[in-house]
Amino acid sequence: MRVGNEMLFYAEYKFIARARITDRMRNPGLAETVWGRDPETGAVWEHVVVLEDIEEIEIDARPILGRLSLTPPLRSLTLVSAADSRRISGLVRPRGVLRVGEAERRRHPATRASTQPLDHRGLIRGLMELLPQSTSAEARRAVTVMILLAGLTVREEQRLRPWPELLRQVAGLRGDDDVTVVASSAEEASALAPSAFPLSGRARAVWELAVGADGVSRVGFTVRARRLLEQPLVRAEVVGQLRRFLPVGLEDELLAALGLAGYAHAGGVAVTSEATPDTGPVERTAVRSSRAARDTETARSVKALHRNGCQICGIRLEVKNGQHFSQAAHIQGLGRPHYGPDRLDNLLCLCPNCHLQFDDLALYVDTDWSIRWSKNHEAYDGGKTLVRVPGHEIDPGFLTYHRALCGRYE
């Protein structure tokens, strides 16, 4: 069973309800509390599914079961293939639907997910509506962190995260200098109730708030939003937009604490597996890590094509003996989570200064090839454009990805 699948409920030769799976979990304690243990084996049904869009129906099950070659009565969970599901789709459309809990949903319409189509632009706009603009910067910061925690660092089975768990994680995040980046305590963070998320308009298509049978509020991205976030470019756009609301000077540390360190830098991060002490007059650490193997010939090619001239500022940095120095910069980095290719159309020839600014996401190349500052999207150095030469074609898709990391989405 997967999130998004539909379930039919059977009793006395009829299908009496249908629902959609919105979350899955494994929780033996909850299962034992709700259903108890099997009297013969002592086992519990620890696999739990969370349902939404529950509809009461009344459909004769026998024609449907006959088409599926199943003999009534049904006494256990039965899985149906996608092909068989399509074969019976015309027989299970409910006639005269009564939606369970409809009166409750009318009283709290914000808890009901929107059914409007969702694309990456709608996802970004919905996230911006989630941020409580009328409250303090600290509140917006905490909500931003919770969005990142609940939406980008979880597995499919954990789409909705318990609110108290998020509060504890937010309160525990600190920078390297032990400065609290969001809230100094769980009590301070708990001042943000689930209602801190204004679920209206576009936000309802992006964010979901649910209260379980245990009375605990759970929050997270909707199923459609989660599917969009599986696309690397969309994830880059979301992080690029939300990092603007993180505490100045601590953005990189906070992203690292959230398991999103690669999004703080255009190059991504290497996968370090082990660290061991080394010897020498200065204390040091030797590390074993996995890094992408770079094609040195490709790097030489881009430098030769531009005669070591920087494509951003135009400088040709002279070094000893009249030679010139430049660096090959990947547009979509090779490291995690970007995993860009080591190809000529994914490279720029830059001076060390512009290379640092480009990798640090301070500068980006716009759709018209103009260079802009990420902090305010203003033109760089009087309106310079990227230097281009014959023989060096640049894939616009890589520039789109880099812009997304810089907080510029299209």
CB contact at 8 A, 219 and 194:
yes
In a domain, 88, yes or no: yes
Q: Where residue 186 falls among pLDDT bands split at 50, 70, 90?
A: very low
Q: What is the rounded distance in angstroms from the CA atom of residue 131 to the CA atom of residue 147? A: 10
Q: Are residues 96 and 123 in the same domain?
A: no
CB contact at 8 A, 386 and 365:
yes
Tokens coding 134: 């009328």
Q: What is the rounded distance in angstroms from the CA atom of residue 380 to the CA atom of residue 373? A: 6
DSSP 335: S
In a domain, 266, yes or no: no
Q: Is the dihedral of CA 229, 231, 237, 243 positive or negative?
A: positive
Q: Are residues 11 and 148 in the same domain?
A: no
Q: What is the pLDDT of residue 181?
A: 47
Main-chain dihedrals φ then ψ at residue 271, nearest 5 degrees: -90, 100
Q: Are residues 126 and 246 in the same domain?
A: yes
In a domain, 369, yes or no: yes
Q: Are residues 82 and 125 in the same domain?
A: no
Given 70, 100, 130, which residue is the final one in a domain?
Answer: 100
Region 351-357 average pLDDT: 95
The alpha carbon of residue 408 and the mean position of all alpha carbons in its chain are separated, in whole angstroms, by 17
Q: What is the rounded distance in angstroms from the CA atom of residue 403 to the CA atom of residue 266? A: 10
CB contact at 8 A, 293 and 335:
no
Region 49-63 average pLDDT: 79
State the total domains in the chain: 3
In a domain, 168, yes or no: yes
Q: Which residue range forms the structural domain that includes residue 203? A: 109-260
Q: Are residues 186 and 144 in the same domain?
A: yes
Q: Where residue 26 falls among pLDDT bands split at 50, 70, 90?
A: confident
Region 206-234 average pLDDT: 80
In a domain, 279, yes or no: no
In a domain, 240, yes or no: yes
Q: Are residues 134 and 231 in the same domain?
A: yes
Instruction: Identify the three-state secondary structure at position 285.
Output: strand
Cα-based angle 350, 355, 357 (whole degrees, multiple of 5): 135
Give the residue with greater pLDDT, 148 vs 400: 400
Considering only CA atoms, which of 260, 161, 301 is closest in space to residue 219?
A: 161
**Total-model pTM:** 0.63
Given 56, 74, 100, which residue is the final one in a domain?
Answer: 100
Q: Where residue 177 falls among pLDDT bands split at 50, 70, 90?
A: very low
Q: What is the rounded distance in angstroms from the CA atom of residue 148 to the CA atom of residue 76? A: 39
Number of H helices, E strands in the chain: 15, 15
Q: Are residues 92 and 113 in the same domain?
A: no
HSE at residue 24, side-chain half, CA atoms within 13 A, is 12
Instruction: Identify the three-state secondary structure at position 45.
Output: coil
Whether the pLDDT of residue 352 is over 90: the answer is yes
Q: Which helix (H) or strand (E) holds 209?
A: strand 207-211
Q: Are residues 120 and 246 in the same domain?
A: yes
Considering only CA atoms, which of 322, 197, 337, 183 is closest in space to residue 256?
A: 337
Tokens coding 329: 């910069």
In a domain, 33, yes or no: yes
In a domain, 289, yes or no: no
Q: Are residues 142 and 245 in the same domain?
A: yes
CB contact at 8 A, 96 and 124:
no
Q: Are residues 20 and 96 in the same domain?
A: yes
Q: Are residues 86 and 121 in the same domain?
A: no
Region 368-384 average pLDDT: 92
Q: Which helix (H) or strand (E) holds 56?
A: strand 47-60
Highest mean pLDDT among 150-154, 204-208, 300-304, 373-377: 300-304
Region 160-165 average pLDDT: 78
Helices (H), 131-278: 137-152, 163-172, 186-189, 203-206, 223-229, 232-242, 251-257
Q: Are residues 302 and 198 in the same domain?
A: no
Given 100, 129, 164, which residue is the final one in a domain?
Answer: 100
